[in-house]
């Protein structure tokens, strides 16, 4: 929350579905150290981020340093850029504006001097950004978000009564977070049960790690 009309401090929020940011620390006029949450039920895995920023100013160069990453190598050093979503930009031209896009300058990924509990050091991702609008609502992400709700809504849309002879869903188990882990089965369900039981199966699975949302889009395309 802004303390006054002259307060130019960025406002961060990640308390929404698939959001990931533990803390943001202002260390300079327009520079912030970002600390990410560990993957659910772990104490060692951090690599992806997804959060909202408000109180931004157009044309100002901001610097973000993600200081508790764990992978020794990163595609950010091979040309990858952070993913940005500007609400004002997306709402422009009667809602036909730009959606998610990649941006950022002076991007670098390197080992820092912060020690991990189990030994070794953390890694830092640092980059600079300039936003397109004043007082915009901006989202930053490691990759295009694909939420649990997106997944369940897709299966509900596909597994309708009129398609029950071709595709059905079932619950395989509960995830560590307590959500239903669902599976879609595609076959000719109008056959006799004993014929279905002896068919060979191809299993397609993805999204092993939370940050690999691109894999969810691939499986949606396959379905």
The answer to whether the CB of 85 falls within 8 A of the CB of 98 is no
- CA atoms 167, 173, 176, 180: torsion sign: positive
CB 69 within 8 Å of CB 142 = no
* pLDDT tens sequence across 112-149: 999 998 899 999 999 999 999 999 999 999 999 999 99
- pLDDT for the residue numbered 220: 96
CB-based burial of residue 155 (10 Å sphere; 0-12 exposed, 13-18 middle, 19+ buried)?
middle
Backbone phi, then psi, for 174, in 5-degree steps? -100, 140
How do residues 2-46 score in pLDDT, each as one tens digit? 677 789 999 999 999 999 999 999 999 999 999 999 998 888 899
**77 within 8 A of 109, measured Cβ to Cβ:** yes
For residues 106 and 39, the model is more confident at 106
Sign of dihedral through CA atoms 138, 141, 144, 148?
Answer: negative
Q: pLDDT > 70: what percent of the chain?
A: 98
Distances (CA, A) of 5 to 95, 120, 137: 29, 44, 17
| Domains, the chain, with CATH or none | 11-141 (2.60.40.3120), 148-222 (no CATH)
């Amino acid at each position: 929350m802004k303390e006054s009309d002259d307060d130019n401090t960025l406002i961060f929020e990640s308390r929404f579905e698939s959001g990931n940011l533990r803390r943001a620390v202002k260390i300079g006029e327009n520079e912030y150290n970002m600390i990410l949450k560990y993957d659910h039920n772990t104490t060692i895995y951090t690599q992806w981020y997804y959060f909202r920023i408000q109180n931004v100013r157009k044309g100002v160069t901001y610097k973000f340093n993600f200081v508790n990453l764990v992978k020794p190598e990163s595609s950010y050093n091979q040309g990858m850029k952070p993913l940005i979503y500007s609400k004002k930009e997306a709402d422009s031209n009667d809602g036909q504006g730009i959606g998610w896009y990649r941006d950022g300058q002076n991007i670098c990924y390197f080992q820092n001097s912060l020690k991990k509990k189990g030994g070794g050091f953390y890694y830092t991702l640092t980059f600079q950004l300039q936003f397109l609008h004043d007082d915009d609502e901006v989202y930053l992400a490691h990759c295009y978000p694909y939420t649990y709700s997106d997944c369940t809504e897709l299966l509900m849309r596909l597994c309708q009564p009129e398609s029950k002879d071709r595709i059905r869903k079932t619950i395989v188990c509960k995830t560590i977070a307590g959500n239903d882990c669902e599976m879609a089965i595609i076959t000719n369900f109008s056959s006799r049960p004993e014929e279905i039981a002896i068919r060979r199966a191809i299993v397609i699975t993805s999204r092993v790690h939370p940050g690999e949302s691109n894999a969810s889009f691939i499986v949606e395309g396959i379905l």
